[in-house]
Structure 1
């Protein structure tokens, strides 16, 4: 299987290879750990892995629900043929809600105004909407503020009674689950339990109650409630580096290219814009035809940075400033030639991981994989399938 973009990028200089078998495997592992229904988060084009393909693999792995951020993403998943439980949570006042209501998407409401907008859409299409209410328990981002809980719950209950919608879920999101000892985790869980009690007093009986994201799914059993939402762990990446036990999760993404130029340098030769790196000895430099236009963080070349790629079975450091279309790597004088494979990140031995890149760039693995793209071709493979010979 391959991404539709491949047809438009013949001769591309780099590719993203996504193993859907790894996604299936990861969901099976997480579902077993959680012991409750699993909501696989496939927003942002499946964290850069391909939303439709990731969604299909997650469902095959046992995910009972899928979740995306935007209405447009939800509509795209429906258009792909997915008809199962689907949650989304971001909208603006002008967002068209009629289609997601008609297609049975669970819309998340943060406010009375959003509930009113959903009621209007439900009347327009003549159907009962599906609504989940999100409460802010300390992230201070999306979700009803604590002062507004009672009003939002009352409006949600009124809408159930008048047939505008069914309240299918109540949820919130943790701010510090990747730091299991952070006191915010206890505070948010206590606040969420208070929200559940108030919702029940308001007459709400949602089927789906969820708080735990990937890190809390693995590290905080008390936060699992009736379901868990797994994003980054679905793709085989560690949601809480330094804290997560080895569950055997498998990174699904490999990014690779080939050397486009190989040249020898002498001591004193400078590399790339600003000449911020100068060879202190004779060496060989290889040009990789990917840059920040393809998702390589420019921070990978900051002074003292340690981002690496794999060439010839060895890790090779990036040298000089990452450019829009290319990056230079130090081959250390080892034999190399144009066309040799370069693996920028993946899950194999001796290959840098997305977490390695994150640490080198001062960010998180989520950003590394999600930003990969640009002019690359994305190709999906299934290592669970053994191709038969002729």
Structure 2
């Protein structure tokens, strides 16, 4: 006899219908630009392979990842569409990615040579996208080095070693649409495109805009936009998107939920959790939520964050522990095993990833990508309804 499956102690539920909805909505918004769904960092904590499939089903023209291993994982999972990866260190091997028709980025002449050599070994021209640093001071060639990189790439292209498929950069402050860095970077990028055109490069795509710029700066869209956070239904420019696009309609895809491990009474004057950082000012009840910082819940979130239990938001009490945290039930007595929602879409009143981010003084990107640990992830929506251990 098969034992019945017990409800999860705590889990991440990812709604792939929400992902499909968001991708379709964003594609319409940015048309005629092509659309890239960025699925790096395990799909921003949502599951890279599952999100990638949902994004493709909704019409994503490209997928974007950071590392070479992420690109390998997508090809192993069966994805055969246009795919860009952009982060490598000297000495990493590109051979299998070139053979698998993956676009890889080059930031320098030395890196370009490594990619071209991989193409030589596998007997095909490598698909390469050149990145220029327009002001982020992170990856990409500086404007001073750009002409040299472009010339080297054109030389390799003439020799049949590479095909330059894209030119791109990344914005500093797209979440603040009025920041002067946006216009300054757009100008630098335009100059870089002119240098490349003069050298004879004819890329398939030119791209600068991430989620916030794709939504709020039409001039930055060029041939392709790279949407990450917005794919997952989260606002990439809090305070600006709602003002400028109040009816956009993104749907958050992640819910973190589970069941209370215990409910207990505490008397006024009782101290709670490590260091006795909180003392009850009245008789109350506490709920034991069986997740902690080992699951990626920020320890700094108490006080300030809340958890949805028994139809209400409940404030955290005391310090968050490695495996558990306490919430104030204000005298209510739900049974042990009562469902809780740590974060979700907010449509039923539960806290959102953005609210957790504000409680900690960070961004929602960090909240959703950090959550995990011992949590089980379950995907729902459309033809998918399954669970898998992290």
Q: TM-score range by the shorter chain?
A: over 0.9
TM-score normalized by the length of structure 2: 0.94
TM-score normalized by the length of structure 1: 0.94
In 2, are the aligned partners of 1:307 and 1:318 still within 8 Å (CA)? Answer: yes
Within the candidate set 165, 169, 180, 1:168 is matched to 165
Structure 1 residue 335 displacement after superposition: 2.2
In 2, are the aligned partners of 1:135 and 1:143 still within 8 Å (CA)? Answer: yes
Q: How does 1:10-159 map to 2 (within 5 A)?
A: 13-35=9-31, 36-159=33-156
Per-residue CA distance 1:257-284 (angstroms, 9 max, x = gap): 1110111111111111111111111111
Of structures 1 and 2, the one scoring higher in RCO (CA 8 A, sep 6+) is 1
Q: Determine the C-alpha separation between the residues in 2 that align with 1:173 and 1:12.
A: 40
Q: Determine the C-alpha separation between the residues in 2 that align with 1:158 and 1:206.
A: 15
Structure 1 residue 10 displacement after superposition: 8.2
Structure 1 residue 162 displacement after superposition: 0.4
Moved over 6 A (4+): none
In structure 2, the partner of 1:324 is: 322
Q: Determine the C-alpha separation between the residues in 2 that align with 1:103 and 1:11.
A: 41
Structure 1 residue 154 displacement after superposition: 0.4
Q: How does 1:1-390 map to 2 (within 5 A)?
A: 13-35=9-31, 36-244=33-241, 245-246=245-246, 247-301=248-302, 305-347=303-345, 348-382=347-381
In 2, are the aligned partners of 1:307 and 1:357 still within 8 Å (CA)? Answer: yes
Q: CA RMSD for the aligned pairs?
A: 1.4
In 1, are the aligned partners of 2:131 and 2:140 still within 8 Å (CA)? Answer: yes
In 1, are the aligned partners of 2:354 and 2:363 still within 8 Å (CA)? Answer: yes
Structure 1 residue 349 displacement after superposition: 2.0
Q: Determine the C-alpha separation between the residues in 2 that align with 1:228 and 1:249.
A: 17
Q: Determine the C-alpha separation between the residues in 2 that align with 1:174 and 1:86.
A: 21
In structure 2, the partner of 1:5 is: none
Please list every run of 5 or more consecutive structure 1 residues that lacks an aligned counterpart in the other structure: 1-8
Q: Determine the C-alpha separation between the residues in 1 that align with 2:273 and 2:253.
A: 32
Structure 1 residue 84 displacement after superposition: 0.6
In structure 2, the partner of 1:3 is: none
Q: Determine the C-alpha separation between the residues in 1 that align with 2:314 and 2:186.
A: 44
In 1, are the aligned partners of 2:8 and 2:259 still within 8 Å (CA)? Answer: no
Per-residue CA distance 1:203-240 (angstroms, 9 max, x = gap): 11111100000000110000000110000000000000
In 2, are the aligned partners of 1:21 and 1:384 still within 8 Å (CA)? Answer: no
- 1:22 is paired with a residue whose SS is helix
Please list every run of 5 or more consecutive structure 2 residues that lacks an aligned counterpart in the other structure: 386-390
Q: Determine the C-alpha separation between the residues in 2 that align with 1:383 and 1:371.
A: 26
Structure 1 residue 377 displacement after superposition: 0.7
In 2, are the aligned partners of 1:12 and 1:375 still within 8 Å (CA)? Answer: no
- 1:68 is paired with a residue whose SS is strand
